[in-house]
Amino acid sequence: MLDPSLTKVSLKSPSAQPMTLDPYYETMYILRPDIPEEEVESHLTKYRDMLVEAGAEVLDNQMRGKRRLAYPIDKHKEGIYVQLSHNGDGQQVAVLEKAMRLSEDVIRYLTVKQEGPLPAPRVVPGSEPAPAPQEQAAASSEAAS
């Protein structure tokens, strides 16, 4: 006869820790490729401000650049990809997606709810403060020795 404890199947490994982190949302949207750079920046700020007004916290906003599409969308073969990570109660998603649906510049969008650790804040090159002169002198003296 089989031991009853051997008949139970556990899908979790014993070392797996439960996720206790809050969920967040990631919205990826594709803009038309013929939009000028200044207008792309205005779209980035428009959607970010829209989320803030809806009570969400914007975690990250990245422009992924112009890429070739897997298939033509509205006769476009390329698109400008933008990724937007935000945190909120979920009500902000409907507001954001309605604005994207009505915009002629957005050719596709998708919002997914992510579980797990929050994305690390992205450090933009050149945005870090320059080290103080004392730190530079200390670093150069350590390198010389």
> pLDDT tens digits, residue range 74-91?
999 999 999 999 998 888
Whether residue 18 has pLDDT greater than 50? no
- 0.85 cut: is pTM over it? no
- Evaluate if residue 132 carries a pLDDT over 90: no
Q: What is the CATH number of domain 24-114?
A: 3.30.70.60
Higher pLDDT, 144 or 108: 108
**Cβ contacts of 128-135, under 8 Å, gap ≥ 24:** none
Say what the pLDDT of residue 17 is.
Answer: 39
Is residue 112 classed as helix, strand or coil in its secondary structure?
strand
> Mean of the per-residue pLDDT values for the chain?
78
pLDDT score recorded for residue 1: 54
Other C-beta atoms closer than 10 Å to the C-beta of 92 total: 23
Percent of the chain beyond pLDDT 90? 49
Q: Is the pLDDT of residue 121 over 70?
A: no
SS3 31: strand
> Band of the pLDDT at 4, cuts 50, 70, 90?
low
Residue 51 has pLDDT above 80, yes or no: yes
The rounded distance, in Å, linking the Cα atoms of 116 and 89 is 16
